[in-house]
Structure 1
Amino acid sequence: MHDALTLIVVLLGSAVAAVVLFRRLHMPPILAYLMCGLAAGPFGFGWIQDLENIQHLAEFGIVFLLFTLGLEFSIPQLLTLRRVVFGAGPLQVILTGGAVFLVMRALGFSPITAVITGCALALSSTAIVIREIIGRGAVNTSYGRSATGILLFQDLAAVIMLVMLPIFAQGDSDQLWQMTGVTLGKSLLLFAGIYIAGKWVLPRLLEETGRTRSDEVFVMTALLLALVAAWVTHWMGLSMALGAFLAGMMLGESHFRHQIEADLRPFRDLLLGLFFISVGMLVDPDLFADQWLWILLAAATIMLFKATIVTGLLKLLGERTDNALRSGLVLSQCGEFGFVLVALAVSHQIMTPGNAGLLVSITVLTMAVTPALIQKSGHLTRGILSPWMQIPDEHPLSPEVTGHVILCGYGRVGQNLMRYLTRFHHQAIAVDMDLVRLQEAGAAGERILFGDASRKDILEKAGIHRARLLVVTFDNARLAERIIHTARDINSEIQVLVRTRDDTHLDILTGAGAAEVVPEVLEASLMLVAHALMMLDVPFDRVLAMLRKTRRDRYRMLQGYYHGDSFPAADSAGNPYRLLHAVTLTEQARAIGKRIDDCPLKDVEIRAIKRKGQTLENPSEEIVLLQDDTVILYGALDSVEAAESKLLLG
């Protein structure tokens, strides 16, 4: 008992530390669990020698993974993306798996090992890809939809692979087709049974447990449903994962879906972490040291091959070349279901731990580079295709045109600005690096150049010497700063207007030479204020004067706000975050009776003093502080805390 408790503490402690570290490095937590397993297993520090018991427990992680996958599986989405799901999806899995199978057979591996390896490497990482494209807001882009469609089929294929794996474990090729038919028949019978239960029985059961208004009862019911479905399929001689997936898919159409998913997520994550730890125990560092060159070569080859296959298939389906290639890059890695297949193959003794360790090592390498690859996929796509993509005819301004506007970036903001400049008869030209946007805008006859606006030759081509105004329309403060410096070096008289998200980089950009910086969050607040005042019948000239004064003061009145629990430690530039904080001077406060300039506060501004229902904004240093005054401080957290201590304690 004592040894078991020590083992659990060590595993959980190392897992927590590893996940935190990998999060800081922007790497998937799956890799952290694998590293923990490597360290704890027989090839690491040897804390765990007997893998059988921990693998039995870890199998429940697969059950809950498939159950939640079923909950999230959307048949309407499947039908919406059916062209990609049932077109590119099957061909990608078959072509990738078949190519790997042939290579493995040529290298002398057994047919069953070659089949499992081909199946494992054909699948991509749903967890990593979906998380990354959601985080980048790319779900509804062309490449995001294509990637999602192929992942949907891969998830279906993974379930089929898990069902078929026990058949391969029998090893009797003469009865393979017979056993396959029996298994498919059982699966259809199981599907019908779970469909009936999911349609008429389970919703009423969940409604009844919901009426108890007991979180414990609902959680236990959700756990019971997943485990009963797994037990039934195991009793029928099928994979436990199949029953869990089907049960989740049936419940995914009910209004209990989100509550069940939220309740089971902690159990799933904990058991999945244990499962990936058990997979990491299969990796032999000595084997990696001996075979590292082949492992690296295999990882690079499979990623290149999958990217090529996906790109070609999507291109055949009519996708644009850039979207097809970007989808291929996004899906080029191997996935977590490969670990599931490998672990089950080892437990069924149809794959040796050595071969499993090689396969896990290859998969880990491909997954490790995936977040960075997805982040840079746009740049890589443009770089790869630029020699073959024809840049459309550009329409530069005539050399006689002077006093025009240069728009750096031609997205939605840039295009809206161009429309109004045209309406007010101002000449303008845009600079953008999106070739598709360039083709569309160029075909419409708009003046747009291809290139990086921070480069001197591109700005000169846009007529920077003769321009009156340069506008940075995208939210990238570092690139905007480079553009400002380049523009100022060429034409010191040009005015520069910059768009940013908030006031984080306002001083930096102003110092670089921007005449005006427009923080969109603060402007949105300002517009909301203006509309509210006019709806309250405040005269328009007073509202307009307020807008002008706020902008003239560089949004000083809008800077800082009272934070809640989720206070950020630093802004997007890495500087200490600044906030507003109210300090009330009680009768014991040392600052009472003193002037503001007698209480020097370091790196903190006194924005206002609230006294007897009145607000004294921007108080002068001669004002004497009185009891019950509320002093509004503005500054970084540490400085505000020090200032509060100074006012209250002296």
Structure 2
Amino acid sequence: MAGEAGGNELVQVVVLLAAGVVAVPIFKRLGLGSILGYLAAGLIIGPFGFGLFDDPEAILHIAELGVVMFLFIIGLEMRPSRLWGLRQEIFGLGLLQVALCAALLTGVGMALGLPPVVAFVAGAGFVLTSTAIVMQLLEERGDIATQPGQRMVSILLFEDLMIVPLLALIAFMAPGGEEATLSSRLIDVGIGVGAIVGLLVAGRWLLNPMFRILADAHAREVMTAAALLVVLGSALAMQLGGLSMAMGAFLAGVLLSESSFRHQLEADVEPFRGILLGLFFLAVGMSLDLSVVAANWVIVALSVVVYMIVKAAGIYAVARLLRHGHGQALERAVVMAQGGEFAFVLYSAAAGVGLIDGETNAVLTAIVIISMVLTPLAILGLRGLMPRPTPDMNGVDMVDGLDGSVLVIGFGRFGQVASQPLLLKGIDVSIIDNDVEMIKVAATFGFKVYYGDGARLDILHAAGAGRARAVLVCVDKAETTVRIVEHLKAEFPLVPVLARAWDRGAALDLIHAGVDFQIREMLESAFVFGEATLKTLGLDETEANEIMQDVRRRDSERLEMQLTGGLYAGTGLLKGNAPTPAPLAQPRQPGQVMNPGAAPSSPEAGG
């Protein structure tokens, strides 16, 4: 029997892993994001899909640890000084948004026919945005460290703090228990404050010495166990104090953010965080009660739409009131328009004290879950509707009738270095680029760079390509470089064109396009690097020089043979029955003495 029970649990584990492994790549390929993939997978395998799981609540309780670990890692990035710098955003922006949205959503609930107390509970729960969804979206886009991202993080932190007074208020509003509950809640507040103080003391004087002792033991598994102990222990301390587990983990991360063990802790926790956070979204998908949705589909659908629109409107209004840009305000409104995981806690507490009944709890929970499911779709819709941001052209001159002796297209790292000898010689150089920010930065160093897309033929005419003594194509993207060279050689065949190649395949494409000179961007630096290595190993300069000349010869022979034999066609893949190119020197195996002249051949795609 024990074996059967264990086998059944193993089947469930395999199903959970398989659901995520199958669904997430499909949804990411469709551009819908990993979160929606997890939610859909959870719905399919849950009690209201194929019925492979009948207790999503149990999984959800375990999976919440993913959110806890996520907040710990975010805390590691938030040094106390940085967090102190966000205090106005947390207690100013956060308070204003929560207060306004709570008032608006309570009014919506009353308009939908709910009693005032139930309307307040429903609205207060929906105000608490999903920390897991928003933080995951910000992380995937790399926006956590940006100013808009920091503002969202600040609001989420304030909302996490708000779960404590909201739970106290729910207990205070419980029928027939005001006086007793008020006194008990005052005690609970004291316990919560004590838990925070205790965690701060432990983080300040105990954690770093503990990790130093463990590091001296040189036991990697013990360090991993200690990292998990810190995360889960701080979460448990906050939970016992009546606070949010996620808030406890976040504070622990902040306290360790300046520790010399910060990177080790992040590496130890990261694998558990990723798996458990995915499990959390799977469990949320399983928790969607389709029978409740079917029985109350009108009120559920109406509530989801109205709650999300009204909350988004409140968020947008607060952002604009505080003079944040339209685009930033609109994006925040869409990203944070959903309810969150703390709503489940609030609704369960309200049901436990008799403020709402079981069916209302299920309906409100379904509304929150559906809003979470709709968030990735709403973000996709926003990206489709919003116009692409136009760069600020203030102080940037457009290309118009340039007449430099040399035209440089692209002024990144490569273009900057390539233009230096020309400028030192006093040659008249015209430079164009389509990166506005780079143009402004270059201006601060005294460079005059004009705005223009070198891949457009009209821009090449306006930039004076037909009158130039030479054109240097120094852009980053290989396909763009080839397109520019093709335009130049077709329209201005007598003008010499020199181009930067990304790799060997791009170099072959440029040669076929008729470029007069091309060089792989890292070729010469790699040659110099290799020669310096030979000298470091004890070879004299003459011998090192001879070996490098041999390497250069072999590289040139390979390139020529690839051109004539069709070994490469700009894709880095072998094609046809091409002759064997000149061999490259290969790493020798242990115990093998290799003559560079007899080195085996190998196709080279890069460099």
Distance in 2 between residues matched to 1:47 and 1:8, nearest whole Å? 11
Q: By how many angstroms is 1:11 displaced?
A: 1.8
Q: Which residue identity is paired with 2:23? A: A
Distance change >3 Å, CA 336–CA 397, structure 1 → 2? closer
Q: Which residue identity is paired with 1:239? A: S
Distance change >3 Å, CA 260–CA 425, structure 1 → 2? closer
Aligned to 1:503: 504
Q: 1:237 aligned to 2:237? A: no
Aligned residue pair count: 564
Aligned to 2:583: 607
Q: 1:34 aligned to 2:35? A: no
Aligned to 2:199: 194
Distance change >3 Å, CA 606–CA 539, structure 1 → 2? closer
Query: Residue 556 of structure 2: which of 553, 556, 574 is its match?
Result: 553
Aligned to 1:107: 108
Q: Which residue identity is paired with 2:134? A: S
Q: Which residue identity is paired with 2:583? A: R
Q: Which residue identity is paired with 2:62? A: L
Alignment of 1:222-371 (within 5 A): 222-283=227-288, 313=322, 334=335, 339-348=340-349, 349=351, 352-367=361-376
| Secondary structure, counterpart of 2:600 in structure 1 | strand
Please say if residues 41 and 280 of structure 1, whose CA atoms lie closer than 8 Å, have aligned partners that are also in contact: yes
Distance in 1 between residues matched to 2:52 and 2:280, nearest whole Å? 16
Distance in 2 between residues matched to 1:186 and 1:363, nearest whole Å? 33
Q: By how many angstroms is 1:106 displaced?
A: 4.5
Query: Residue 388 of structure 2: which of 376, 380, 384 is its match?
Result: 380
Distance in 2 between residues matched to 1:550 and 1:312, nearest whole Å? 67
Distance in 2 between residues matched to 1:217 and 1:609, nearest whole Å? 44
Please say if residues 527 and 548 of structure 2, whose CA atoms lie closer than 8 Å, have aligned partners that are also in contact: no
Q: By how many angstroms is 1:511 displaced?
A: 1.7
Q: By how many angstroms is 1:476 displaced?
A: 0.7
Q: By how many angstroms is 1:212 displaced?
A: 4.7
Query: Residue 49 of structure 1: which of 28, 49, 54 is its match?
Result: 54
Larger relative contact order (Cα-Cα within 8 Å, sequence gap ≥ 6): 2
Distance change >3 Å, CA 450–CA 572, structure 1 → 2? farther
Distance in 1 between residues matched to 2:56 and 2:91, nearest whole Å? 35
Distance in 1 between residues matched to 2:551 and 2:581, nearest whole Å? 23
Q: 1:78 aligned to 2:54? A: no
Q: 1:525 aligned to 2:501? A: no
| Secondary structure, counterpart of 1:607 in structure 2 | coil
| Secondary structure, counterpart of 2:38 in structure 1 | helix
- Alignment identity in percent? 26
Q: Which sections of structure 1, spanning at least 5 residues, go unmatched? A: 316-323, 560-570, 579-599, 618-629, 638-650
Which has a greater percent of strand? 1
Aligned to 1:591: none
Q: By how many angstroms is 1:537 displaced?
A: 5.9
Q: Which residue identity is paired with 1:553? A: S
Aligned residues: CA RMSD? 4.9
Q: Which residue identity is paired with 1:515? A: D
Q: Which sections of structure 2, spanning at least 5 residues, go unmatched? A: 111-118, 563-567
Q: By how many angstroms is 1:424 displaced?
A: 1.6
Distance change >3 Å, CA 151–CA 442, structure 1 → 2? same
- Deviations along 1:225-280, whole A, 9 cap, x unmatched? 43333333333333333333333433444334333333333333333222211111
Q: Which residue identity is paired with 1:227? A: L
Aligned to 1:646: none
Distance change >3 Å, CA 634–CA 214, structure 1 → 2? closer
Q: By how many angstroms is 1:199 displaced?
A: 2.9
| Secondary structure, counterpart of 2:476 in structure 1 | coil
Q: 1:19 aligned to 2:24? A: yes
- Deviations along 1:270-293, whole A, 9 cap, x unmatched? 332222111112446796998889
- Deviations along 1:583-612, whole A, 9 cap, x unmatched? xxxxxxxxxxxxxxxxx9867546169999
Distance in 1 between residues matched to 2:361 and 2:319, nearest whole Å? 31
Q: Compare 486-495 and 289-298 and name the one that shifted more.
A: 289-298
| Secondary structure, counterpart of 1:380 in structure 2 | coil
Q: By how many angstroms is 1:408 displaced?
A: 1.7
Distance change >3 Å, CA 492–CA 41, structure 1 → 2? same
- Deviations along 1:318-371, whole A, 9 cap, x unmatched? xxxxxx677668756536995432343454347744444444444444436769
Distance change >3 Å, CA 89–CA 331, structure 1 → 2? farther
Q: By how many angstroms is 1:301 displaced?
A: 9.0
Distance in 2 between residues matched to 1:311 and 1:180, nearest whole Å? 37
Distance in 1 between residues matched to 2:411 and 2:310, nearest whole Å? 37
Q: Compare 501-510 and 328-337 and name the one that shifted more.
A: 328-337
Query: Residue 117 of structure 1: which of 123, 126, 147 is its match?
Result: 126
Q: By how many angstroms is 1:213 displaced?
A: 4.2
